[in-house]
Amino acid sequence: MSGSLHTSSSVGIEGKEAAPAKQHCEHQAECLKKIQAILDGGASEEEKAHFLQNINVCMPCIEMYALEKCIKEALQGKVEKKCCPEKVAAAIRAQIAS
C-alpha cells in the first residue's frame, strides 16, 4: 500500500496555502481577545490586518478562531432579538448612573 501525507504546508482560514503552522501559541490569551474583537466587529482595521497576516501560521489560533466563530454563529441562531421596553431601559440607566 502506498501513499503520502503532505505535511510541508497547511491551509489557513482563507483557504490559501500557508507556511507550516506552529503548534504552540505563546500569546494565546491575547490572541483570544483579538479573535473575539474581530468576530464581534470591535477590532480596528490595523488589528484585523495583523490578525490575517499571522493567523495562518499558528495552529492554536486557527483552531480558536474556528471554535469562536462556530460558537458565535450557534448563539446567533438561538437568540431571539427583542426591543427592550423604555421603562426597563430607563431603570437600568438610573442604576448605572447612581
Per-residue pLDDT of the chain (98 residues; tens, 9 = 90+): 433 333 334 444 555 555 557 788 888 888 889 999 999 999 999 988 888 887 778 888 889 999 999 999 998 888 888 888 999 999 999 999 98
Which of 55, 50, 48, 51 is CA-nearest to residue 12?
A: 55
Sorted by sequence, the CB contacts under 8 Å of residue 12 that are 6+ apart come out as 18, 21, 55, 56, 57, 62
| Amino acid 20: pLDDT | 56
Q: E-strand spans in the chain?
A: 10-11, 17-18
Long-range contacts of 44-53 (CB under 8 A, 24+ apart): 52/14
